[in-house]
Structure 1
Amino acid sequence: MTRTLILTRHAKSSWDHPGLPDHDRPLNKRGRASASAIGDWLRRKGYRPDEVLSSSSERTRETWLRMGLSARNIRFLPELYHASPDQIRQALSSATGQTVLLLGHNPGIAEFAERIAQSAPEHPRFLDYPTCATTVLQFDMADWSRIGWHDGQVIEFVTPRALLE
C-alpha cells in the first residue's frame, strides 16, 4: 500500500511586533500569498491530505488556514514546534491517514526532509528548505508506524517563489 506525505515548512512570518513570543507570530503579507499559492498548487496536482499534523504555532496554523484545504483529521501538536527530525518522525508514526500533510519549522523540517528521502531532488533550495517549501513523498508501506529514514521517494518539490513569479 502506498502512503503520501506532504511536508511543508510554515510560510513567511511577521516580525512587526518584536515583543510577541516566537510561538505567537502570524504570517506576513508574503507568507499569506505563499500559503495560498502552495494550497492552489496542491489542489491542481491532486494532492489532498486526509490528515494534518501541524506545529501548534500561530504561523503553522495560519499557513494551514491560508492553504484553503480540508482534511478529516487535523492535529496541532506542541511537540512539532521546533521539533528535531526524530521528534517529527515520532509524530508521523502515529498518523493514520493515507495522505498526511505535516507542517513544521526549520531547521528540523529541512533535516527531516533530507533524512526521510531516498535521494534529494535536484533543486538548489531543497537542503535549506525556505519558508513554505513543500515536498511530496511516497512510501511503500501499510502504515506510518513503519516509517524509516530514506524510505520516501520524492515525487515533487516546490517553493512558493516558483509559483508566484
Structure 2
Amino acid sequence: MTVEQTDPDALLLVVVRHGEAEPHSPDGDEQRELTEGGREDARTAGAWLKAQGVAPDLAIVSAATRTQQTWEAMQTAGFEAEDTQVDEAIYNGGLDDLLEVVRTASDDVRTLVVVAHAPGIEELATCGEVHCDLPDVWKPATVGVLSHPGDWTSFPADDTALVFCHASG
C-alpha cells in the first residue's frame, strides 16, 4: 500500500520514536544526544517517509535533545513540515499526553508528525487497528503511519488504522 492508496479524506498521523541516543549525558537524560548511527537511522526514516509520499503539515516534537536531533536529521532527508512545534509535555509523556497533543491539532492539519519516546509512541502507533507488519520491538527511529477518518478531536476512532511501519537500522 502507498499513501496514494489510503483514503484521500483521511488524516495521517506519523509517529516516530527518536533515533538511538547516547546512554547518558552529564547534563541529564533530557540532554542526551543521538549517536551517529541514530542520526543516520533518522535520515533513513525521513527518506522512507518522503518516498512514501507523506507530506506533513505540522511536526510536534518532544523537547528532549534526541527528539530534536531526530527531527532535524529527518528534515535533511527532505522530509519537512510546514510548521514545527516543541512540546514539553511529551517528554516522558505517556499515551494520554500524546493523545491530548493529537486531539488538539488544528483542523487545517491533514498530516501530523509526532516525534517522541517509548513506550508512549508505540502505544500511540498501535491505538487503532494494525494493517502492516508491526515490528516485534519498537526500536529507535521506528516509524508508523496511521490513517484516521474524521477530525483530530475524535482520534482514535474505530476505523483508525496503522497502515505503514518502518524500522530503521
Tell me the TM-score normalised to structure 2 length: 0.86
Match of 1:158 among 149, 152, 166: 166
Q: How many equivalent pairs are there? A: 156
Letter of the 1:39 counterpart? G
Pairing 1:145–2:153 present: yes
Match of 2:115 among 85, 97, 103: 103
Q: 1:124 to 1:63 in 2, by over 3 A?
A: closer
Identify unmatched segments of 5+ residues in structure 2.
Answer: 1-8
| Cα distance in 1, alignment partners of residues 158 and 89 from structure 2 | 22
Pairing 1:91–2:101 present: yes
Match of 2:55 among 34, 42, 48: 48
Match of 1:19 among 20, 26, 44: 26
Task: Note the C-alpha offset of 1:121.
Answer: 3.5
Residue identity (%)? 25
| Cα distance in 2, alignment partners of residues 36 and 58 from structure 1 | 16
| Cα distance in 2, alignment partners of residues 93 and 107 from structure 1 | 19
For residues 32-63 of structure 1, the C-alpha deviation after alignment (integer angstroms, 9 at most, x for no partner) is: 10000001111111112110111111111110
Task: Note the C-alpha offset of 1:87.
Answer: 0.8
Q: 1:62 to 1:124 in 2, by over 3 A?
A: closer
Q: 1:3 to 1:153 in 2, by over 3 A?
A: same
2:87 corresponding residue in structure 1? 77
Task: Note the C-alpha offset of 1:140.
Answer: 0.8
What is the DSSP-based 3-state SS (H/G/I as helix, E as strand, rest coil) of the residue aligned with 2:81? coil
What is the DSSP-based 3-state SS (H/G/I as helix, E as strand, rest coil) of the residue aligned with 1:122? coil
- Mapped contact 1:119–1:150 kept (Cα < 8 A): no
* Alignment of structure 1 residues 22-33 onto 2, 5 Å: 22-33=29-40
- Mapped contact 1:4–1:137 kept (Cα < 8 A): yes
| Cα distance in 2, alignment partners of residues 145 and 122 from structure 1 | 27
Match of 1:58 among 59, 65, 81: 65
Task: Note the C-alpha offset of 1:18.
Answer: 4.3
Q: 1:149 to 1:23 in 2, by over 3 A?
A: farther
Tell me the TM-score normalised to structure 1 length: 0.87
For residues 134-158 of structure 1, the C-alpha deviation after alignment (integer angstroms, 9 at most, x for no partner) is: 00110111x2111136542121101
Identify unmatched segments of 5+ residues in structure 1.
Answer: none
1:4 corresponding residue in structure 2? 12
Task: Note the C-alpha offset of 1:106.
Answer: 0.7
Greater alpha carbon shift after TM alignment, 150-159 vs 57-66 = 150-159
